């Protein structure tokens, strides 16, 4: 994926050079990443949820993820399947030698995986993965949190997505999710490494945004 990116500190916005060298972007409190449209896969009649902008902001208590899609959310979900939009791999101790590794892209050192999802509310149920044979009513965002096993790609869920994840209605092109620090085991002032993958993109390192070293507010 060809990406450009921006970095936010307080109320100021700074343009950064390309991260082709593979070095992580260093950001304080917040970061904004941009991604080219049209770099996702369409499979089985479902359109890949195409993220063109991603903002991650910290406020001392939670991380706020704001994703902007290339098209209205209904274009991706109406009559189709719910599912992951981005996968956020968190190296919470900022030590590549500890933690698990990504299934795609061969990245290492992560303690936590946050899967941010676009979900469908039906007349007689809901789905955050897949879908139901029922009339659709609306769309909402949610997330799941998993803990990596040391040196492994698999994770164990740390809470029940259907009961413990805050939900936010989705309208238009924007998806918003609030993830409390307590859900991912971080504290204010801590620096964490993030490797964020566009979930419906290719199955390799090209599906990732540039890595970010984010110091939390």
Long-range Cβ contacts of 22-27 (<8 Å, 24+ apart):
24/193, 24/210, 24/211, 24/212, 24/213, 25/210, 25/211, 25/212, 25/213, 26/212, 26/213, 26/215, 27/212, 27/213, 27/214, 27/215
Asked if residue 115 has pLDDT above 90, the reply is yes
If one counts the domains in the chain, the total is 1
| 96-114 pLDDT, tens digit each | 999 999 999 989 999 999 9
Give the residue numbers spanning the domain of 58: 3-215
**pLDDT of 159:** 77
Tokens coding 45: 């009649």
Comparing CA positions, the residue from 86, 96, 19 lying closest to residue 55 is 86
Residue 90: is its pLDDT beyond 90? yes
- Concatenate the DSSP letters of all residues of 150-205 into one string: TT-S-EEESS-HHHHS--EE-BTTEEEEEEEHHHHT--TT-EEEEEEEETTS-SSG
| E strand or H helix that includes residue 65 | strand 62-69
Q: What is the pLDDT of residue 46?
A: 86
What tens digit of pLDDT does each residue of 72-82 get?
A: 999 999 999 99
Mean pLDDT of the chain: 89
- The reported pLDDT for the residue numbered 136 is 94
Query: CA Rg, the chain, in Å?
Result: 17
pLDDT of residue 4 exceeding 70? no
pTM metric for this prediction: 0.88
Per-residue pLDDT tens over the stretch 159-203: 776 666 788 999 899 999 999 999 999 999 999 999 999 999 999
Q: Is 63 or 12 the better-scoring residue by pLDDT?
A: 63
């Amino acid at each position: 994926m060809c990406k450009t990116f921006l970095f936010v500190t307080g109320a100021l916005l700074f343009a950064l050079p390309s991260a082709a060298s593979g070095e992580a972007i260093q950001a304080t409190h917040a970061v904004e990443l941009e991604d080219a449209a049209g770099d996702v896969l369409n499979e089985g009649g479902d359109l890949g949820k195409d993220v063109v902008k991603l903002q991650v902001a910290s406020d001392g208590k939670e991380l706020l993820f704001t994703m902007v899609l290339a098209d209205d959310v209904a274009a991706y979900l109406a009559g189709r399947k719910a599912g992951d939009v981005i996968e956020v791999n968190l190296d919470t101790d900022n030590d590549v030698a500890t933690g698990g590794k990504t299934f795609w892209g061969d990245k290492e050192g992560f303690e936590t995986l946050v899967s941010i999802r676009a979900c469908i509310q039906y007349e007689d149920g809901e789905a955050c993965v897949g879908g139901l044979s029922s009339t659709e009513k609306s769309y909402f965002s949610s997330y799941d949190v998993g803990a990596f096993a040391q040196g492994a790609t698999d994770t164990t869920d740390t809470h029940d997505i259907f009961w413990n994840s805050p939900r936010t209605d989705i309208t238009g092109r924007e998806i918003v999710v609030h993830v409390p620090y307590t859900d991912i085991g971080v504290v204010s002032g801590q620096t964490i490494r993030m490797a964020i993958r566009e979930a419906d993109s290719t199955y390799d390192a090209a599906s990732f945004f540039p890595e970010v070293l984010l110091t939390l507010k």
